[in-house]
Structure 1
Amino acid sequence: MTSPAPASRHEVTAALDAKLPGALGGRTAAAFEKAFGMRTVADLLSHYPRRYARRGELTAIAKLPLNETVTIVAEVRDVRERQMRARRGTILEVSISDGEGIISLTFFNQAYRARELRPGTRGIFAGKVTEYRGALQLAHPNYELFDPLADAAAALSGVDGAAGAALDDAAARRWAEMPIPIYPATASITSWQVAKSVAIVLDGARGGIPDLVPDDVRHERGLLTAQRAYELIHRPEKDADYMKARETLRFHEAFVLQTALVRQRRAAHAVRTTPRPPKPGGYLERFDRSLPFRLTGDQQTVGGEIARDLAGDIPMMRLLQGEVGSGKTLVAVRAMLAVADSGGQSALLAPTEVLASQHLRSIVKVLGPDLSAELMPTLHTGQLSTAERKKALLRMVTGQARLVIGTHALLSDAVQFYDLGLVVVDEQHRFGVEQRDTLRQKGTTPPHVLVMTATPIPRTVAMTVFGDLDVSTITQLPAGRKGIESFSVPLSEKPAWAGRIWQRVAEELAQGRQAFVVCPAIDPADDSGDGLDGPGPDDGAGGAGDGGSDGAGPESAVPASVPAPPKANVVDTLRLLQTVPALAGARIEALHGRMPSDEKDAVMRAFAAKEIDVLVATTVIEVGVDVPNASTMVVLDADRFGVSQLHQLRGRVGRGGVPGLCLLVTHAEADSLARERVDAVAATLDGFELAEIDLELRREGDVLGSLQSGGRSSLRLLRVVKDADVIQDARAVAFEIVAADPGLEAHPALLDALERRLRETEESFLAKN
């Protein structure tokens, strides 16, 4: 495989790592850094257009979202000037239209604008959409008008505006159809200001942008040079230009990411650790003999994969994913017992005290009294008393506690282990990379790591985000599960169904069963709830680095006339249910993250002991809570939760011998994105299918962005659902290059791209995950 055209690290840095003040001037560069966090030429050039408009096509005004900053293409219809009533001066009112809808522009004491905003003139208009007396208006708008003669002459003929009069009809049509890049913008920096700055940078970097893809790879796939790709994505003359540029830059993103993952995998395999094989007649063998049931086929397969990893001297880095209730924890316990056979300790890191306490109880129960006495499972959380904390710390440092279960408290400096051999991270998405790495560092030799998630991860995401981990999957559910029926309850269309929800819960209670009622908030003043994932926006928010809205397309359209109902909360819902006649006599209690640890634990114990009929809770019960008698899950304001959260919550019922019922209550309008999420969850129990739907519904720019690492995402164009083939192809190329040249000495542009686009925070994420 040949390397790209020669380019030293110095030349690469000079072209793309040049600071923006030197390219645009200090004032403009400061504005771009404040608005978008941009500091270098590379940052600006990777700020790709969100969409492309045409001078001959107008933006649908009816779909503009209220109270958002937008960028639209429209035509001036009417211009009127009038005297202000309350004070001296004039108001210039300009109506612009898409041919159907109308939105007004208002200018105070700026009558001179009437000379350029003439009826029939078209241009790009930017501002915040507001409503005044029932009509839409752009507040404090900026605009850039189209000049069909000067613009066309400059763009197509390479001459000044005076030559435009000679353009023929064909050239005029080309001008009208030439794509206009519409960039993610803010109230302070408009789309056309971005375009002008990009043009300055491109002109200054002519011939100076090296290729990070080897020449033979580029030719074989028909990709553009990097220089040409940047030119065509920012300054296309026809649709085919930016489409080809996107194809090239999409491969670049996949290639850089996969190269980083392949290098991390190679580095991880170069480290050695203590093998942890099970001992004949040891803890694992005794445990397996005591099980009153057979492991599922998937549990046996995954257990074998983990056992082979533990027996080797290369630290295991394995992701275990499986459906809710598929028995992942049992697989993890068997791995812990194998480590205990070698004299080592295991630490299970859980995201909440409720889950950590439940893990301890369930592990003690499944081990039985004899193994529990020998292995001494120990709980360590931040809410322990001083005496309990000292006892737990002593057990850990002396090695008495072979199995340790805890929350973030395990990460404190006071926690030390005698011989930490295995780290198990439950619900990995709840923890930051630094937290997981802190626990790993407590081993005298690198411990094996097992990362578990009940949020199914599509193959493409596993390949993209967890490409340096081995992936094991459990899809089979243990025998005896009765299944779950799920229903969407659309109160916006069927308000009368509100009462039926509680009647249905009462019918389940009458059969001796129990119910969860989940709310997105704790009290009326709460704006967050307990969910660490965050409801709603994790599925519909803009991709990392968007920098603002441009009002393009229906995905950002929000009906302005329908006020959002108050967010359902635990305090008000508890009060409501205590007055519902159908639930008279029912024992109803609350559970949320602000409660003291012992109080939360007492409530969960009471619910598990059937002393509580209805538990009104936040997402503190989202994962791991196992109450076999709970048959019903009611999720209020289900549209405020993400797809994966809803699937997790639903998994809290139907776990025993009774069938499960899940009611997803929503006020979201039909055909809205929020409603689509809820309906998708109600339509299937297949978590892997939902994971694919989840990615298709959400904007994926955050795959390696703030949700994972806290920094801006390096992914701008890559879509992990649609671009699986690109990712796989790039991965194969990356493996070949890294195998032949681990230090990438023959690929300076690629090495520089790794350092530039995977920033320090994302490098840390990849290294420590």
Structure 2
Amino acid sequence: MISLDSPVIAVLGDHKKKREGIEERLGLRTVGDLLHHFPRRYVKTGELTRVDDLEDGQMLTVVGQIAHSKLNSYTDRRTGRPAYRLDVSVRTDGPSFRMSFFAKSKHIGEWHQNRLPVGRRGIFLGKVGSFRGDWQLTNPQLVLFGDPDEDAAQLSLDKIGEFYPIYPLTKGVDSWDIQRAVAFALTVVDDVPDLIPEAVRDEYGLLDVHTALERIHNPHDYGEISSAQRRFRFEEALVTQLALARRRRTVRELGARARTGGGGLLAEFDSRLPFELTAGQREIGAQIEEDLAQSHPMNRLLQGEVGSGKTLVALRAMLRVVDSGGQAALLAPTEVLAQQHHRSITAMLGDLAAGGMLGGAAEATNVELLTGSMTKAQRTAPMSRIATGEAGIVIGTHALLEEKVIFADLGLVVVDEQHRFGVEQRAALTDKAGTPPHVLVMTATPIPRTVAMTVFGDLETSTLTELPAGRAPIQTNLVPLAEHPQWIARVWERVREEVEKGHQVYVVCPRITGDEHEQGETDQVDVDEDGNAVTAAAPTAGLSAVEEVAAELVEGPLHGLRVEKLHGKMPPDDKDAVMRAFAAGDVDVLVATTVIEVGVDVANATAMVLLDADRFGVSQLHQLRGRVGRGGLPGLCLLVSRAEPGSPARDRLDAVAQTTDGFELSRVDLEQRREGDVLGKSQSGYRSGLQTLRVLRDEKTIVEARAAAVALLDADPDLARAGDLGAAVSRLEESVQSDFMEKS
């Protein structure tokens, strides 16, 4: 008896190479895995395929018709014997293709010719190439329609149906290998558990699992494809939503200490502010204050444009917790940003940051900085003040996650640029609290994973839509060196013009040196037509690097200007000295890596040149651009790139140049890079923990599944009566936990 748990060989047949490809490279080890390996698209068998925009090397699957067939003889140069080549022309709804089949004997050549007569239609698969002005399919594979003599590897039209499924494949495995095994499995497997309860299926108009499997693998029309896809997307959304909802409920049940104030620190700080809070800052501040007063942990995302005042909102929340007798920790992704936060928060607080010191205000607290580069001796005093509770606000990098760092009463964790930290890294900090602390995560540009978590409801969301007074518009221009290499000279002329006006300029490079990555940097990734990750084709050699670019500018187009370098491999004291000099106006042009991406605030910086801009993601480009125009002066951002028109990288740059709306750009980013692992640590978008869901496309389905998940848990908190659905949720939770254990 064949079941979902049976090995895939039970329906595949004993073909060793195909079995290895399906089991090892596609990861389909059971019949259940195979049945849930869904087609990525379909070709309609009843009509010729429309073909547009062909490119050399493209893999193509089309329904076509034999238009011409001729058997030619020639002499094999290796053997000197006669050989035969059948040249065939295939017509589509578009260009025709040439195919060639080689045979050592005339008999085999004639056999090929007889099976490929003019007028016969079929499905043809191969790599597109061009030869003497004609398109051809190299090493073609084919399934012919209506041929009674086809062997077991071929399929007749009545077995294929009206739509032919095209599956995600691997080398050595053809789409019809999968299709044939799936068709057999559907006839012999009877017991397929339905994870979605019947009441939920009825409420949301979903197919049962048997019908959905038949329709997704062997549809008769587009409506059947759509209804089957909706059912499986809902199923995945429901399992994920249940896991997220249970995680939220578990945290709530643990309880948290309400932080209702009591001290005078926040009130004193507010009374000293030299400006009015924006309406958004006041509204979200009240929202956070209400969250902090609850006996369960706050878990809130604060998102807003670069410069919208998120740090001030977070600082007021931290002061509220300090007023309540607790401590607040701010986790930053880089030392430069941690130092910047420490300087800016200390400056904003003034004598309110000098607790216990001569000249400190009566309501004051201490603000400590803890980073990985600090020596053991430098850490001793700050760690002691953190452990005793003397330090009310602690700012740091990943160093805060170390076991030796102990808090007296950690009441609030603020995570800046949250897309740099996974769920587990946040957990490592929140675990340092005796009771679960409140959590506030911030981002200036919602990158894909943030958007995914927002839609999935892992976090409550607050959005700052206003910009404080003094923010100037930023003009962004693409400098396409692929078409206009001479334009680079004008780029450096514009830099010199800005400096002559008394302003300062950033020049950002993707490398420190020509053969070295910036710390934490990853290659930009694109997506192929199947949604698989592919590294951008641009070679690393020749990419702009800080050391080389700075030297070239000093000796060349920016000779005479004050040019300095900044990158992650510099000693912390040197980095801090360079940033202080730039902020003080003692540096005209700062050539840097992405260490200046977030938090760096120099009001006199009005222009930025991003070299090899296609090597950065959408959110990163938007973040970097936000470093200019911060002092009320108009900003200029030049995106210098050799990316070819029409490439995914060029599309990214065009999107960034066309809008300064970070929330619109986040959707562009999400469409290109996918969602990432919503429950785990992966930040890059690959591989997505989601199999059939796409956050933008399926937002309505996700919202419906969330409502269904809440109703199910209200009626059955432990999913004790949910049967197979409960087991699926537990498996997801266990897989996430095991990933965490492996990485921690």
- TM-score, structure 2 normalization: 0.86
Which shifted more, 56-65 or 424-433?
56-65
Counterpart pick for 1:347 among 310, 314, 329: 329
Q: Deviation of residue 219 (structure 1)?
A: 3.0
Supply the AA of the counterpart residue of 2:48.
E
Q: Deviation of residue 129 (structure 1)?
A: 6.4
Q: Secondary structure at the match of 1:585?
A: coil
Counterpart pick for 1:192 among 173, 176, 195: 176
Q: Deviation of residue 566 (structure 1)?
A: 4.2
For the pair 1:612 / 2:581, whether they are aligned, the reply is no
Q: Distance in 1 between matches of 2:533 and 2:103?
A: 26
Q: Deviation of residue 703 (structure 1)?
A: 5.7
Supply the AA of the counterpart residue of 2:347.
K
Change (3 A) 1:44 1:571: farther
Supply the AA of the counterpart residue of 1:222.
G
For the pair 1:743 / 2:718, whether they are aligned, the reply is yes
Counterpart pick for 1:277 among 260, 271, 279: 260
Which shifted more, 183-192 or 117-126?
117-126
**Is 2:527–2:533's contact at 8 Å kept on the other side of the alignment?**
no
**Is 1:536–1:642's contact at 8 Å kept on the other side of the alignment?**
yes
Which shifted more, 613-622 or 20-29?
20-29
Supply the AA of the counterpart residue of 2:596.
I
**Is 1:433–1:709's contact at 8 Å kept on the other side of the alignment?**
no
**Match for residue 226 of structure 2?**
243
For the pair 1:518 / 2:508, whether they are aligned, the reply is yes
Q: Deviation of residue 535 (structure 1)?
A: 5.5
For the pair 1:57 / 2:48, whether they are aligned, the reply is yes
**Match for residue 294 of structure 2?**
312
Q: Secondary structure at the match of 2:511?
A: coil
**Is 1:224–1:244's contact at 8 Å kept on the other side of the alignment?**
yes
**Is 1:706–1:712's contact at 8 Å kept on the other side of the alignment?**
no
Counterpart pick for 1:488 among 470, 474, 478: 478
Q: Deviation of residue 53 (structure 1)?
A: 1.4
For the pair 1:576 / 2:559, whether they are aligned, the reply is no
**Match for residue 334 of structure 1?**
316
Report matched runs for 1:227-626 at 5 Å. Answer: 227-280=210-263, 282-373=264-355, 374-456=364-446, 461=451, 466-526=456-516, 529-530=518-519, 532=521, 534=522, 536-537=524-525, 540=527, 566-581=542-557, 583-626=558-601
For the pair 1:217 / 2:200, whether they are aligned, the reply is yes
Q: Distance in 2 between matches of 1:670 and 1:522?
A: 27
**Is 2:162–2:219's contact at 8 Å kept on the other side of the alignment?**
yes
Q: Distance in 1 between matches of 2:149 and 2:428?
A: 58
Q: Deviation of residue 202 (structure 1)?
A: 2.6
Supply the AA of the counterpart residue of 1:472.
S
**Is 1:179–1:239's contact at 8 Å kept on the other side of the alignment?**
no
Supply the AA of the counterpart residue of 1:385.
T
Q: Distance in 2 between matches of 1:434 and 1:518?
A: 31
**Is 1:513–1:630's contact at 8 Å kept on the other side of the alignment?**
yes
**Match for residue 169 of structure 1?**
none
**Match for residue 719 of structure 1?**
694
Change (3 A) 1:94 1:64: farther
Q: Deviation of residue 707 (structure 1)?
A: 3.5
Counterpart pick for 1:690 among 637, 658, 665: 665
Supply the AA of the counterpart residue of 2:502.
G
Q: Distance in 2 between matches of 1:22 and 1:601?
A: 64
**Is 1:123–1:143's contact at 8 Å kept on the other side of the alignment?**
no
Which shifted more, 251-260 or 69-78?
69-78
Q: Deviation of residue 525 (structure 1)?
A: 2.6
Which shifted more, 466-475 or 28-37?
28-37
Q: Distance in 2 between matches of 1:110 and 1:271?
A: 78
Structure 1 unaligned runs (5+)? Answer: 1-10, 155-159, 165-171, 550-555
**Is 1:535–1:642's contact at 8 Å kept on the other side of the alignment?**
no
Q: Secondary structure at the match of 1:264?
A: helix
Report matched runs for 1:17-32 at 5 Å. Answer: 17-20=5-8, 24=12, 30-32=20-22
Counterpart pick for 2:146 among 129, 145, 148: 148
Supply the AA of the counterpart residue of 2:411.
G
Q: Secondary structure at the match of 2:607?
A: strand
**Match for residue 361 of structure 2?**
none
**Is 1:520–1:568's contact at 8 Å kept on the other side of the alignment?**
yes
Report matched runs for 1:43-82 at 5 Å. Answer: 43-55=33-45, 56-58=47-49, 60=51, 63-64=54-55, 66=57, 82=74
Q: Deviation of residue 319 (structure 1)?
A: 1.0
**Is 1:17–1:40's contact at 8 Å kept on the other side of the alignment?**
yes
Structure 2 unaligned runs (5+)? Answer: 356-363
Q: Deviation of residue 180 (structure 1)?
A: 0.8
Q: Deviation of residue 150 (structure 1)?
A: 3.9
Supply the AA of the counterpart residue of 1:569.
A
**Is 1:72–1:126's contact at 8 Å kept on the other side of the alignment?**
yes
Q: Secondary structure at the match of 1:377?
A: strand
For the pair 1:203 / 2:178, whether they are aligned, the reply is no
**Is 1:36–1:547's contact at 8 Å kept on the other side of the alignment?**
no
Change (3 A) 1:563 1:98: farther
Q: Distance in 2 between matches of 1:744 and 1:598?
A: 55
Q: Deviation of residue 110 (structure 1)?
A: 9.9
- TM-score, structure 1 normalization: 0.83
**Is 2:251–2:436's contact at 8 Å kept on the other side of the alignment?**
no
Instruction: String of CA shifts for 1:20-60, please: whole Å, max 9, x gaps.
Output: 45665785655334212334444333321111113443474
Q: Distance in 2 between matches of 1:536 and 1:506?
A: 30
Q: Deviation of residue 258 (structure 1)?
A: 2.1
Change (3 A) 1:400 1:321: same
Counterpart pick for 1:667 among 642, 654, 658: 642
RMSD: 3.9
Supply the AA of the counterpart residue of 2:462.
S
Change (3 A) 1:706 1:329: closer
Q: Deviation of residue 106 (structure 1)?
A: 7.8
Change (3 A) 1:623 1:459: closer
Q: Deviation of residue 432 (structure 1)?
A: 2.2
Change (3 A) 1:493 1:112: farther
**Is 2:614–2:643's contact at 8 Å kept on the other side of the alignment?**
yes
Q: Deviation of residue 298 (structure 1)?
A: 0.9
**Is 1:61–1:103's contact at 8 Å kept on the other side of the alignment?**
no
Q: Deviation of residue 484 (structure 1)?
A: 1.3
Q: Secondary structure at the match of 1:488?
A: strand
Alignment identity in percent? 49
Supply the AA of the counterpart residue of 1:365.
A
Q: Distance in 1 between matches of 2:446 and 2:685?
A: 22
Q: Distance in 2 between matches of 1:70 and 1:623?
A: 44
Q: Secondary structure at the match of 2:391?
A: coil
Q: Deviation of residue 107 (structure 1)?
A: 6.7
Q: Distance in 2 between matches of 1:652 and 1:59?
A: 47
Supply the AA of the counterpart residue of 2:195.
L
Supply the AA of the counterpart residue of 1:393.
M
Which shifted more, 182-191 or 322-331?
182-191
Q: Secondary structure at the match of 2:637?
A: strand
Q: Distance in 1 between matches of 2:503 and 2:637?
A: 14
Q: Distance in 2 between matches of 1:134 and 1:377?
A: 71
**Match for residue 359 of structure 2?**
none
